[in-house]
Amino acid sequence: MAASLGFDVEAVTVTRAGAKSAVRLAVDGDVRPDLDQLEELSQALSGEFDARETAGTLNFGPGYTLELTTPGLETPLTAVRHFRRNVGRLVLVAGEKLRIAGVAGSDQGATVWLVRPAAKKKDAPVVVERDLATVSGALVEVEFSDAPAAESALVGLNPEKYRALCAQEDDK
């Protein structure tokens, strides 16, 4: 059902607590779901769950609460789709704050390009290339201002341009 609306189910948690159970689903999409879309999915899921409980093929207990949410900032980025959805955002990777510039590939062999901020004001930011496996677990950082223009200019380029930038950096 979530897929038919363009969402991925990121997590499902069922907590049984006596007469009342809680079913929590975290969903996300390439475009963040808005409240109307979450409501539409919630109603569709409620109807399906109720029908299956009536048919005896699903049992959350005598009563349940359905909670639909989106992943929060505390949710680590672990899949290609997570990084794609956060291109341009600042992330914390192994204690270092980097900006996601671009992503290419699939979960089995993705490359992530990150912008390392300039060490000094006179320096330019640097693009670094990493395998997804080495940056899996990155956390999105909250930013209260726009990214520096020099960093923003390096976001959203094509993979060939990133490879060329990384090769230039390797030659230094």
All residues at 6 or more sequence positions from 59 whose CB lies less than 8 Å from its CB, including other chains? 53
Asked if the structure places residue 74 within a domain, the reply is no
pLDDT in the model for residue 82: 93
Structural domains in the chain (count): 2
Mean confidence (pLDDT) of the chain: 90
pTM: 0.80
Domain boundary among 69, 94, 121: 69
- Nearest Cα neighbor of 92 from 155, 154, 136 is 136
Q: What is the CATH number of the domain that holds 126?
A: 2.30.30
Name the residue range of residue 125's domain: 80-171
Q: Is the predicted pLDDT of residue 89 greater than 90, yes or no?
A: yes
Q: Are residues 46 and 113 in the same domain?
A: no
Query: What is the share, in percent, of the chain residues with pLDDT greater than 70?
Result: 99
Asked if the structure places residue 85 within a domain, the reply is yes
Span 104-156, pLDDT tens digits? 988 778 999 999 998 888 889 999 999 999 998 999 999 999 999 999 999 99
Q: Are residues 103 and 136 in the same domain?
A: yes
Asked if the structure places residue 150 within a domain, the reply is yes
Q: Are residues 85 and 65 in the same domain?
A: no
Q: Are residues 62 and 89 in the same domain?
A: no
Under 8 Å between Cβ of 98 and 166: no
